[in-house]
Amino acid sequence: VGHASGAAVTAITERRSGGQPGVGMDSSWEKLALWNIDPLLEHFFSTLHVSPPEEVDFNPSKILWRDLQSLPGESSLLVPVTELLQNTCLSPLLHRRYTKACGALIRLLRSEYRLTEHFRTVRLFLLMEAGDTMLHFYSDVFQRIQEGGVWWEPSYLNSLLQEVLQGHHPTAEKSLSVRVGDSPYQRTSIYSTGILSLCYEVPWPLDTIFSPPLMQTYNEVFRFLLQVKWAKWSLDEIRTRCCTLASLPRDLAFRVHQLLLLRAKLVLFTNNLNNYLMTRILHSVGLEFQANVAQAEDLDSIITLHREYVSTIFDRCLLNKKASYVKEAIMKILSLALSFRHKWEEGVSKFSFAEAERIETEFSKCSHFLITCLNNTIKRGSFPHLETLAFSLRSLKSTQKIFTSSIRKR
């Protein structure tokens, strides 16, 4: 060790003097020498090509952060950890220390800061994996919308959310709240619930993992799921209000029978879409994410895995720009489901043949377009996960038209 130290000191001395014995050190190295820097450490950092520029005053008491930021790339004193761990004499030691420190940090985040529980809470509520809890929340909201009440008041929404959480998840009560934005759409439009955001307060230092952009992406998925749930809930509620066909006049009973067949088509689509999103995408991708996070060895890996996870569910929920045409067709069908429910509430006798035919025609066009697009996308190999959705919807192409001109004459 002494021989190595002596060689290093000799090398440093020669380099300071420009390779010529007796030649004075240049001004920058003279300033560094005044700090009494360990020769071995100085030799180590010199191998990284970190040469302090002469124009910067290297007195430690006078160096400012803005001075360090203004240094050029190769002359920067801020050396990335990855460079320190590669091809240097101190690499084994630094790597062991780095691994040990990362392990201690991960254990601290999982134990004291409950990182795993925060991941689970976000999935339970923003991704609606807590189906029973969220059902109570959005059912009340949808019922108030159906009745024409004021549902967008923050006080009402937050009190409703707190009431639901108290009975099922009291630990999340203080962390979750509802924020309401502005909407250019009508209060009964399928897009009107786009003003809702579910805010989740994450304590420091976990906010570096649950960053604001990622939480915004979570909320985009949440709003889309809420729209799907609204269409599904609207159609499911019709079933509980159906009367016995035998007690109705023949013409009215036949009309009700036709409308129930049309409702069955809409239910088939919304149920398959809901199952695809909740099981094929959110549940399966969530399990994969949990396994990857359990094996992560440092904070950077967890941040990267979380970012990739959020990006994956965003893309596979058809919310990226590449799948905008698919989402547009889906939103039209969800709007048709709300229109059907609205007409049904006005009374079956007032549900005109022309309006029912219009809903069925638009539904057939959108569903056929959607199935064709999904099949073409699968053939190109762009989105293989869409195969499940395309397979579940293919039966819609073989269904017969319910409202035809011949039936109308009848």
Buried/exposed code over 201-216 (b: 16+ C-beta within 10 A; e: otherwise)? ebeeeeeebbeeebbe
Rounded Cα gap, residues 295 and 284, in angstroms: 17
Rounded Cα gap, residues 19 and 34, in angstroms: 20
Chain centre distance of CA 95: 33
For residues 16-21, give the mean pLDDT. Answer: 50
Per-residue pLDDT at 162 exceeds 50: yes
3-state secondary structure of 25: coil
Provide the pLDDT for residue 74. Answer: 46
Task: Report how far apart, in Å, the C-alpha atoms of 321 and of each of 109, 203, 328 are.
Answer: 35, 32, 11
Provide the pLDDT for residue 402. Answer: 74
Closest CA to 360 of 252, 274, 259: 259
pTM (2 d.p.) = 0.75
Per-residue pLDDT at 229 exceeds 90: yes
For residues 23-42, give the mean pLDDT. Answer: 54
Residues 63/56, Cβ–Cβ less than 8 Å: yes
- Please report where in the chains the tokens 């919807």 appear, as a residue: 393
**Which of 179-185's residues contact partners 24+ apart within 8 Å by CB, and which partners?**
179/154, 180/152, 180/153, 180/154
At 265-298, the pLDDT tens digits run 999 999 999 999 998 899 999 999 999 999 888 8
Provide the pLDDT for residue 65. Answer: 45
- 240 pLDDT band, cuts 50/70/90, is very low
Provide the pLDDT for residue 51. Answer: 45
Provide the pLDDT for residue 390. Answer: 82
Rounded Cα gap, residues 192 and 182, in angstroms: 9
Provide the pLDDT for residue 285. Answer: 92
Q: Report residue 177: phi and psi, to 5°.
A: -155, 165
% of the chain with per-residue pLDDT over 70:
71
Q: Dig out the tokens for 58 from the structure.
A: 């290297």
At 74-83, the pLDDT tens digits run 444 555 666 6
At 164-179, the pLDDT tens digits run 888 778 888 888 999 9
Q: Which residue has the higher pLDDT, 37 or 62?
A: 37
